[in-house]
Structures are given as C-alpha cells and as structure tokens.
Amino acid sequence: MVPSHLRKVRSFVRRPGRITKAQQRALTTLLPRWGIPYGESKIDLDEVFGRRAPRVLDIGFGDGEALLTSAVNHPSIDYLGVEVHEPGIGHLLMLIEKAGLDNIRIIGRDVVDVIDHMIEDRAFDAVNVFFPDPWPKKRHHKRRLVQPEFVAALARILVDGGLFHVATDWADYAEHTREVLARCSDFTPVAAEELASDPLAFRPPTKFERRGLRLDHVIDEQYYIVRRRLQPRS
Ligand SMILES: C[S@@+](CC[C@H](N)C(=O)[O-])C[C@H]1O[C@@H](n2cnc3c(N)ncnc32)[C@H](O)[C@@H]1O
C-alpha cells in the first residue's frame, strides 16, 4: 500500500477563491492564537489545549459554523478543525474570537498530511467528516477522502471505542463509505440509541447540509454513517 503521505491524488482542488479583507486579517492576527502551524513532528494535544479532555477531529469544516456550534455547546470537549480553504479558516477564526472560545484549534493543511505527520496514536475520541466533497464522476472517485488507507489512519488515531462519523447528501458516497468500512476490520456499526445522548456524536446542521436540502438531495439516516473503533485483538 502506498503510504498516505505519498498519495499524489488530493481530495480537494485549491481554487483562487475570494477571501474578504476581514478573513485575511483574521488569518494574520488570529491564526497565531488559535492555529497550530503545520510541522512534521507529532504534537502533544494535552499541551496545546492545556488540559486532558475528550477530543474531536473535524475534517473539512468548511465555513466552520457547525464546528463553532459544537464547541459552544460542549465546552468540556476539545475540537481540532483541519481545513484547506483559507476563507473558511478566516471565517471560523472570527467566530471563535467573538465567542471567546478556548476549546478549538485549527490546522490549515491537507488532513492526510496532518494525520501522517502530526497526530499521535489514539489522540481522538471521535473523528467527523461532514459532507465531504462528493467527487461524483467515476473517474474522480479516487479523489474521495474516504479510502481504505485513510480509514486505516483514522483507526490509528482513534481511542478504542472512538467514533468515526460521516454524513453525506450523496447516496453513492454513503455506499462507497460503507463499502470501505466493511473491508476494514477496525470498525463496527453503532446502534442509533447509543449515540442519542453521546456528546461526541453531536452533529449540528452544516452549510453543505443546508445546500443539499435546498437542492432536494435526500439526507436521512441512511446518509449518516457512524462506526466505533474496535479494541485491537492481542
Ligand atoms: C463540501 S465541503 C463541506 C464543508 C462542511 N463540512 C459542511 O458540511 O458545510 C468539504 C470541505 O472539505 C475540505 N477538504 C477537502 N479535502 C480536504 C483535506 N484533504 N484536508 C482538509 N480539508 C479538506 C474542503 O476544502 C471543503 O471545505
């Protein structure tokens, strides 16, 4: 298997998107406070957050509004958001400053690199991938974030019993995710009733979810996929 850091196919395309002056200013002035610079050595998240609390990794948070809602609602959980879209990072930074939060940190980089180089084993209690880019054309399926090697990397960074939570508005992506997970012996399905009261499984509505609903995409229980990381066999 090709190590994921050597993967040439990226799950995103960098578009010279418009960034507002306020977002740009946030990147300059607020990122040093809430950002973690990308580096090629593992980070100590207890040190970063200044405490040992349950931790959630939010991959591809977009405009960050849903991540902010999670962090406001669950001050006893720490959230690491990883995103490559600079306007989204700037937007989230402004929201964090306004809310005065200390339980979110951001890394602006491809999450595949971040996991490979910066994240210790068993660092997270949950990993969220909400409405990943669907890459609907067959020839682009290789760009989908959820791939066997990616899921194996998530198994490494999740605690035993940790949650992997995917939501999508694309039936084909949901099916693809289920197939990838079915081939990975590290994860097992979770009963919905186990999740109802679990703050680590909290999922506020996201921007792309609302967009999907406007476009009449079906989004129901079929499109929410949650798996629990199994204890490795000794
Ligand atoms: C369709 S948007 C969904 C955003 C948000 N989760 C929502 O539901 O509104 C997917 C996001 O994932 C980000 N993304 C895609 N591949 C990524 C990667 N490898 N590392 C970090 N972010 C990524 C994109 O930049 C984009 O903002």
Tens digit of pLDDT at every position of the chain (234 positions): 455 555 579 999 987 779 999 999 999 999 999 999 999 999 999 999 999 999 999 999 999 999 999 999 999 999 999 999 999 999 999 999 999 999 999 999 999 999 999 999 999 999 999 999 999 999 999 999 999 999 999 999 999 999 999 999 999 999 999 999 999 999 999 988 899 899 999 999 999 989 988 888 877 777 889 999 998 766
Structure tokens at 206: 């996201």
Atom of ligand 1 nearest to the CA of 129: 6
Dihedral sign, Cα of residue 135, residue 137, residue 142, residue 147: positive
Instruction: Tell the burial category of 28 from Cβ atoms under 10 Å away from its Cβ (0-12, 13-18, 19+).
Output: exposed
Query: What is the structure's pLDDT at 7?
Result: 54
Question: What CATH class does 17-229 carry?
Answer: alpha beta
Strand runs labelled E in the chain: 55-59, 78-82, 104-107, 124-130, 158-167, 187-189, 224-229
Q: 135: Cβ–Cβ under 8 A, 6 or more apart, which residues? A: 11, 141, 143, 144
Mutate to test the pocket of ligand 1, among 173, 208, 214 (most ligand atoms within 8 A of CB): 208
Spacing, Cα 52 to ligand 1 middle (Å): 27
CA distance 175 to 154: 19
Tell me the longest C-alpha to C-alpha distance in the chain. Answer: 54
Q: Which of 46, 102, 113, 133 is catalytic?
A: 133
Q: What is the pLDDT of residue 36?
A: 98
Determine the Cα angle at 19 with ends 17 and 21, to 5°. Answer: 165
The alpha carbon of 88 and the centre of ligand 1 are apart by a number of angstroms equal to 9
pLDDT at 110: 97
Spell out which residues line ligand 1, taking CB within 6 angstroms: 11-12, 59-62, 82-85, 88, 110-112, 130-133, 145, 206-209
| Sign, CA torsion 111/115/132/81 | negative
Which residue's CA lies nearest to atom 14 of ligand 1?
60
Note the pLDDT of residue 14. Answer: 83
Picking from 83, 77, 194, the residue whose alpha carbon sits closest to that of residue 124 is 77
Q: Whose CA is nearest to atom 24 of ligand 1?
A: 60
